Amino acid sequence: MFKYPKFAIAVTSGYMLFFVSIMLCHASFLTTSLLFLLSQILVIWMVVSILKDPAGQGRELPEGVEWGYEDRPDIRPVV
């Protein structure tokens, strides 16, 4: 379930577009409330799947370094 963060992003984004279109159609309060509660669950699912994705993990920092940038070698951490 948490293996494909792009799928979670696509599903959540599509659902949010659906939710906004339902809101614009002036749906009933019960319908919009239930859809809103489901949207919270989808957003949490999306965030967890992005955070658990191993592709976003970088190299370990050297000893004594608290921060660093992998994509910018010109920015050096202060030791």
| In-domain check, residue 25 | yes
How does pLDDT run along the chain (79 residues), one tens digit per residue? 667 889 999 999 999 999 999 999 999 999 999 999 999 999 999 999 988 887 766 777 777 766 666 666 666 656 5
Q: Which two tokens stand for residue 13?
A: 């984004």
| In-domain check, residue 20 | yes
Q: What is the model's pLDDT at position 54?
A: 77
| In-domain check, residue 68 | no
Cα-Cα-Cα-Cα torsion 38, 40, 41, 44, nearest 10 degrees, comes to 160
Q: Using CA atoms, how far apart are residues 2 and 45, in angstroms rounded to an integer?
A: 8
| In-domain check, residue 38 | yes
Domain limits for position 30: 5-53
Counted domains in the chain: 1
